[in-house]
Amino acid sequence: MSTRLKSRGLPPLSGVLVLVMAATGLVVIDITIVALGLAPLGADLAGGASAESVVVTYMVAMGALTQVTGSLSDRWGRRPVFLAGIAVFTLASLAAAVAPSLLWLNAARVVQGAGAAAIMVNGIPLLSDRYSGEERNLAIGAWGSFATAAGLLAPTLGGLLIDAFGWRAVFAVNLPLGAAAWVLATRVLPRSRPVPGKGRADWPGGMLLMLGLGTATYLMLRPGDTPWTWQNIAVLSAACLALAAFLAVQLRVPVPTLDLRMFGRPEFSGAMLAVLLSRALTIGSSVYLVLYFSDGLELSPIGAGLLMTPIFLAQMALGMVGSKLLSHWAPGLVIGLGYALKGVGLVTLALLITPDTRWWLLLVPLLAWGAGGGISGAPVMAVAVRFAPADRVGMVSGTASTLASLGAGIGTAALAMVFARHGGEDSQAVTDGAQAVLACSAALAVLAVATTLTLISPRRVPRPEREREPAA
């Protein structure tokens, strides 16, 4: 079986790979599936008021805890942290499914986000422990492609569940799936022990990071038309102070939550910067591209959603290609190719869109955008993991996830200002704003290509055949 799969460009199938993909699917689906039930949920628990906080609390908790749980998995072992994450996520889903009030539901979503952070941050470390070399790259690519597929499935699954059983079903469906994942994890994950000689956990740094990231994420998830008040500015200042204090602590503690020395390696810094830029240009531009589809082309919500699917389908289909190219090209060239394709797609869209553009003319640039994301996704993480010590892979995974969340928030907020300056409410104004956003996103893609080829250059990270794997 393994030989046949490898010959087709797939990693050898294992219980660990199946487990990681299934658990990740649960977390990814829960990011968006709840959004479809906000209207009936709000009518049931909030008296018709907005229930967007149910989405925000989950994202804030997951974003604030990812780095900390990643570092704890390095210290305590992958198995106990991953099992705890599945258990917490599943029990919190039960609490959410029976929630009698919006306050109860938001509290359950915070706990659910904590479990999701422990699951997500352990995906790459578990795959890195199970696979090596080309097989590891292929496994990371398969994991990323499956996560994309789960995101595609979420709206359809959510609609079916809500129509048939009501909004509580989107949480209740996690119970049998989470229980099955926990049982599988107890069978396939190897026993792990706490790493000796690590010293005390970095609790002060962890608390400062959770405070800083939690408040910063909350501010970035606020509606774009909400005016800035002195309270918002005070909260932002507190977040910046907490993050600055966290960095100061990391330079003093013997075993930091985030080892800042890793950023001294240009290839590692390049991979992390690529994660940040990629999420900023992808998420930010997606928001306003959908707005153009709905208000510029006057498509229905379903039509606008369907027109976005070429991006995700191409990304899912090309996810394994990027991993396979790592066997023949230097990682920097593969990642640069991916961002170049993204940039070509974004520039072409900016040139093509008008209020009268035929939707089918947009399919090719949308596919190019998605193909670029698929090609660059796995190689970025492969570079980051490749140069990390074995006892720091959880930290690296947490750093990448945290920067991805920050990139999404920063990109959305920054591009919102671009859209507000160039856009408006009528179809032409919406088109003008979307064009400006797409042009700025293309510029970010060019910046990503330049930084990738500079920091992850073939000179620093040559093709695999010319180097030996570094000692962990």
User: Is residue 195, in this structure, part of any structural domain at all?
Assistant: no
pLDDT of 466: 43
Same domain, 264 and 380: yes
Please, which residues have CB within 8 angstroms of residue 169's CB and are 6 or more apart in sequence?
A: 97, 161, 162
Q: Are residues 129 and 214 in the same domain?
A: no
How far is CA 374 from each of CA 120, 242, 316, 453, rounded to the nearest angstrom?
A: 19, 35, 6, 18
| Angular region, 437: left φ>0, alpha ψ -120 to 50, beta rest | alpha
Q: Tell whether 243 and 278 lie within a shared domain.
A: no
The candidate with the shortest Cα–Cα distance to 354, out of 443, 285, 435, is 435
Look-up of token digits 């993050």: 243
Task: Please report which confidence band the pLDDT of residue 468 belongs to, taking 50, 70 and 90 as the band edges.
Answer: very low
Q: Which residue matches tokens 């915070």?
A: 110
Is the predicted pLDDT of residue 50 greater than 60, yes or no? no
Looking at the structure, tell me whether residues 75 and 50 fall in a common domain: yes
**Residue of higher predicted confidence among 359 and 43:** 359
Q: Which of 444, 415, 67, 45 is nearest to 260 (CA)?
A: 67
Mean pLDDT across the chain: 83
The CATH number of the domain where 173 resides is what? 1.20.1250.20
The domain total for the chain is: 3
Instruction: Compute the average pLDDT of residues 140-144.
Output: 84
Q: Which amino acid is at 242?
A: A
Examine the pLDDT at 363 and tell me if it is beyond 80. Answer: yes
Same domain as 455, residue 434:
yes
**Residue reference for tokens 């991006």:** 311
Contact 29, 153 (CB under 8 A): yes
Supply the pLDDT for residue 89: 96
- Percent above pLDDT 70 for the chain: 89
What is the spatial distance between Cα 409 and Cα 415, in angstroms, rounded to a whole number?
Answer: 10
Would you say residue 429 has pLDDT above 60?
yes
Indicate if 59 and 99 belong to the same structural domain: yes
> Is the whole-model pTM more than 0.85?
no
Do 152 and 87 lie in one domain? The reply is yes
Q: Assess whether 248 and 315 both reside in one domain.
A: no
Question: The tokens of 129 are what?
Answer: 């422990």
- Quote the DSSP letter at residue 52: T
Query: Closest Cα partner for 89 from 65, 109, 60?
Result: 109
Q: Are residues 365 and 457 in the same domain?
A: yes
Pick from 141-145, 366-370, 463-467 the range whose average pLDDT is largest. 366-370
Query: CA distances (Å), 365 to each of 145, 289, 343, 345, in order?
Result: 20, 12, 10, 4
Q: Residue 251: how many CB atoms within 10 A of its CB?
A: 9
405: which 2 tokens?
């969340």
- pLDDT band at 199, cuts 50/70/90? low
Q: Is the dihedral of CA 458, 459, 464, 470 positive or negative?
A: negative
Mean pLDDT for 319-346 is: 89
108 in the same domain as 168? yes
pLDDT in tens, 171-182: 999 999 999 999
Please tell me the predicted confidence (pLDDT) of residue 197.
Answer: 47
**Does pLDDT of 194 surpass 50?**
yes
Reply yes or no on whether the pLDDT at 5 is more than 50: no
Q: Could you tell me if residue 6 is inside a domain?
A: no
Range of the domain at 213: 202-221+230-254
Phi, psi of 222 (to 5 degrees): -70, 150
